Amino acid sequence: MGPFWSSLFEQLRDCGRSASLFLITLGGLFVLLCLVAFLCSTELYKYLWPALPVILLYAAVWAVVRFRRARTRRRERLVPSPLSRDELRVARSKLKRDRN
């Protein structure tokens, strides 16, 4: 690896999460650019254009379902489990001792 790439990766490592997000976005844009170039060169965009609303509808429904499932899972995680009998006994004894 050349000195340019090693210094770039070293600099990005020092930047933290923002650098990771930048690299992922940059890679995604490159893949999207290659996909658009391929579609335009093969004229597949003529067939994709009418199907685009259906694809976007499925993607939106999928995103909403995933969001609701994640929110439900997060709420379930916040519910505390009930205390066992031993834990209740210890807590009560601590409360009684503090009063004296």
76-90 pLDDT tens trace: 877 778 889 998 999
Give the domain ranges of the chain.
1-42, 48-100
Given a cut of 90, whether residue 58 has pLDDT beyond it is yes
Distance CA 87, CA 91 (A): 6
pTM score over 0.75: no
Q: Around Cβ 79, how many Cβ atoms within 10 Å?
A: 7
Given a cut of 60, whether residue 98 has pLDDT beyond it is no
Residue 14: predicted pLDDT? 79
31: left (phi over 0), alpha (psi -120 to 50) or beta: alpha
Given a cut of 90, whether residue 57 has pLDDT beyond it is yes
Given the structure tokens 């658009």, which residue do they identify? 36
Distance CA 35, CA 42 (A): 11
